[in-house]
Amino acid sequence: MTQVQGFADKVGFIWSVGDLLRGDYKAHEYGQVVLPLTVLRRLDCVLEPTKAAVIARAADLAGKIENVEPLLLRAAGQPFYNTSPLDFARLLDDPGNIAGNLRTYIAGFSTGAVEVLDRYGFDNHITRLDNAGLLFHVVSRFADVDLHPDAVPNDAMGYIFEELLRKFSEMSNETAGEHFTPREVIRLMVNILFSEDDDLLCGGSPVRTMFDCACGTGGMLTGGQEHLARTAPGSRRPAATLTGSRRSWRHRASSHRCSNARPARWLKASTSSNCDASPSRPRQAACRQRWEGGCGKRRSV
């Protein structure tokens, strides 16, 4: 396995996937492949330590309990899980069926993770890459990069994703600042927002909800959470519930959902105009059906 060390090396290594796409994809389309696969690889690495336990638990619960998700989340130790025996390494064991196996692997994720990937429209690109004979090579390239939290801390993962987003934005003649706010600016904004509230945020283990209606990569939310941790260390630290608009789910996945920061619960997405509700089960089931349809065909939902 190729050893990729450091922030710049990892960004460069992931960015080089575009070399494989040249000719079959236009330059401004590279991000439609690279960004969702970066998210998927991060999820894969985060879940690796508990993958076997989750699969065993899912098999044990099969046919016994209707709603197994809370128990599988506990087994995973993360706010998401995957019940498929496949991972990036095992996907490479069967090059001839990699498209179907990749869809099976994605369908094995918990509902929220499936919806994040569905919002990228990545299923269409699985078909396109497979038809071009590129899917195995692209997945193989991502299997070579280690995005485990031990190798890439949460902040570094956020920077990597934002740097990729910046590069792809420039290739599309867009301004990168339209898609994310630099972390230095986020820290300044968080410090200003909380500058007069330190006393209110401490004592008695208060519960605080932070909401960002245009959360992008989740930088303001995680920045606020980190500020609370610095302000009230130890037992006085507030329990933080982070919420954000579903409009930006796909970018938020890299810096928070794909981390193992383990907030009080997942960043929730809204299904109403006032951004106050979590995604409905029918919507989640619809996303899962799309992946389970396979072979590039989407079921009616």
Quick one: pLDDT at residue 174? Answer: 60
The token pair that represents 195 in the structure block: 């500058």
Quick one: pLDDT at residue 211? Answer: 81
User: Mean pLDDT by 10-residue block, N- to C-terminus, for the chain (301 residues)?
Assistant: 62 91 92 94 96 96 92 95 96 96 96 88 95 96 94 84 83 62 81 77 67 75 79 62 57 40 32 32 45 41 29
Using only C-alpha atoms, what is the Rg of the chain? 19
Quick one: pLDDT at residue 261? Answer: 39
The DSSP 8-state label assigned to residue 48 in this structure reads G
Distance CA 274, CA 287 (A): 23
Quick one: pLDDT at residue 54? Answer: 97
Is 239 strand, coil or helix?
A: strand
Distance CA 181, CA 165 (A): 11
Residue ranges covered by each domain of the chain = 7-172+281-293, 179-257
* Nearest residue to 202 via CA among 234, 177, 180: 234
Quick one: pLDDT at residue 281? Answer: 43
Distance CA 255, CA 253 (A): 6
The token pair that represents 181 in the structure block: 């706010």
* Nearest residue to 228 via CA among 206, 245, 256: 206
